[in-house]
Amino acid sequence: MATRIAKVLSSRDIYEGTAFGLRHERVREPGGVISERDIVTHHGSVVVLPVFPDGSILLVRQYRHAAGRFLWELCAGHIEPGERPPATAQRELAEETGYAAERMEKLVDFFPSPGLLSERMWVFLATRLTAGAARPEEDERITIRRFSAGEIVRMMRKGAGLDGKSLAGILFYWRFRKNRR
């Protein structure tokens, strides 16, 4: 069965920033419906799940203005032009946490909000970790901490401060990969 995609009838860039852009398109969708779509354009990002031999997971805490609060998250970042996702994963892990991973393995990739956002996220499992000095960006104020599985489960049950990419990455790892290692 052939997969059809929308035919773009017109497209106009409204905004182009350093992290994302905004584009307005008029499209004929596969069912023939003509629609107007506003799309947040994004070059993609990586999410890094650092797991230690004891099963603990390293999270970073930082203020997220759009959410209006501090969140515990897996480290993550934008893919720079010309950069491949595994290289971005190593770079972000080192910048945000100071750790280096001897092994960086792709777990899953997904589109976090495909109704309006073109961003694709690649989740990498980082193991055989070696500590070093973090090199956060100038505007990043990051705290790092290892959490046991029990602590993370309690956070999830309370709805306390984990973002969507971290929930997706951790739950995917626990369900599909943890016991295969």
Please indicate whether residue 138 is annotated as part of the active site.
yes
d(CA 23, CA 11): 7
Q: How many CA atoms lie within 13 A of 162 on its CB side?
A: 21
- Out of 16, 138, 140, 151, which one is annotated catalytic? 138
Q: Which string of DSSP letters, residue by residue, matches the chain? A: -PPP-PEEEEEEEEEE-SS-EEEEEEEE-TTS-EEEEEEEE---EEEEEEB-TTS-EEEEEEEETTTTEEEEE-EEEEPPTT--HHHHHHHHHHHHH--EEEEEEEEEEE-S-TTTB---EEEEEEEEEE-------TT---EEEEE-HHHHHHHHHHT-SB-HHHHHHHHHIIIIIGGG-
Residues that are catalytic:
138
